[in-house]
């Protein structure tokens, strides 16, 4: 299980600046989600910057430097490895392929169950052993067929319909969009201390859009309900909420 934090801003900023009060509480969750962290940003030309580390973010000197790197977008992932998956830098989120960056919270069991939905073009690209990276390539496969937003919605629906999972919450960052999907198994929230563990919450104002996992405050932010997707246009910062489940022909 993991924690997710993403943003799209009107100008270059840092995670601490755009989140404001309480960002340190998000970082502190790495004491529990302790199996490494990762940060990506993608500028509007498509250039991707990625840093990952196996240290807890709260204790990582690299994190201290990277979290203050200005960018107009960012994904931050705190990893708690699912049972049976190794602590390996290759398994750190966010994953990057071309101009796409992706991170996931939850478990798909078994990881190989998603491979049937990966297009041959992407079949051998995974570097690590996680279900999450394979999930990313299902999304890229569906984007190839159906375009960005419908492709992501179709990919999540295929996994939801056909695989055993706790949560397939995710965020996808591209040069033009930040997209967050909320899809979780309500029955599996009981393994955590609060029922809202898998919820995603977001805030949208003149500075930009921020969306994150729960557990560190900001319960006043808007809830992205289960089975919904939030689409943020990075140029205008306009947001749209769509139903997540989408079944498209092959």
In the chain, the domains with their CATH numbers are: 2-243 (3.60.20.10)
- Average pLDDT estimate for 55-70: 95
Asked if pLDDT for residue 189 goes beyond 70, the answer is: no
- Average pLDDT estimate for 56-80: 95
Residue 249: predicted pLDDT: 67
Q: Each residue of 171-209: b (16+ CB within 10 Å) or e? A: bbbbbebbbbbbbbbeebbeeeeeeebbbbbbbbeebbb
Model confidence band, residue 245 (pLDDT cutoffs 50, 70, 90): confident
- Identify the three-state secondary structure at position 184: strand
Residue 182: predicted pLDDT: 97
- Average pLDDT estimate for 140-155: 98
Percent of the chain at pLDDT above 70?
Answer: 95
Residue 193: predicted pLDDT: 55
Asked if pLDDT for residue 192 goes beyond 60, the answer is: no
What integer best gives the mean pLDDT of the chain? 94
- Average pLDDT estimate for 123-135: 95
Terminal Cα-to-Cα distance of the chain (whole angstroms): 31
Asked if pLDDT for residue 146 goes beyond 80, the answer is: yes
Strand residue runs (E) in 84-227: 95-97, 100-105, 108-109, 164-165, 169-173, 177-182, 200-205, 208-213, 222-224
Residue 44: predicted pLDDT: 86
Residue 75: predicted pLDDT: 98
Residue 187: predicted pLDDT: 79
Residue 19: predicted pLDDT: 97
Regarding pTM above 0.85, the answer is: yes
- Average pLDDT estimate for 9-34: 96
- Average pLDDT estimate for 78-93: 86
């Amino acid at each position: 299980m993991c924690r997710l934090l993403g943003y799209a801003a009107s100008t270059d900023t840092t995670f601490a600046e755009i989140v404001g009060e309480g960002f340190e509480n998000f970082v502190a969750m790495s004491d529990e989600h302790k199996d490494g962290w990762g940060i990506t940003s993608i500028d509007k030309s498509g250039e991707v910057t990625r840093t990952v580390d196996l240290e807890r973010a709260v204790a990582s000197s690299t994190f201290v430097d990277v979290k203050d790197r200005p960018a107009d977008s960012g994904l931050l992932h705190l990893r708690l490895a699912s049972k049976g998956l190794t602590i390996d830098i290759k398994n750190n989120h966010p994953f990057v392929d071309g101009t796409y960056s992706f991170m996931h919270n939850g478990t798909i069991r078994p990881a190989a169950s998603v491979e049937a939905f990966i297009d041959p073009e992407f079949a051998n690209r995974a570097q690590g052993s996680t279900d999450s990276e394979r999930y990313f390539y299902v999304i890229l496969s569906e984007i190839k067929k159906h375009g960005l937003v419908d492709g992501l919605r179709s990919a999540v629906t295929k996994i939801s319909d056909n695989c055993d999972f706790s949560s397939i919450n995710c965020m996808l960052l591209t040069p033009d969009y930040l997209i967050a999907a909320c899809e979780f198994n309500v029955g599996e929230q009981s393994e955590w201390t609060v029922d809202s563990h898998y919820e995603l919450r977001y805030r949208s104002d003149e500075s930009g859009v921020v969306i994150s996992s729960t557990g560190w405050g900001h319960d006043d932010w808007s809830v992205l309900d289960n089975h919904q997707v939030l689409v943020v246009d990075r140029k205008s910062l306009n947001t749209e909420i769509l139903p997540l489940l989408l079944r498209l022909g092959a």
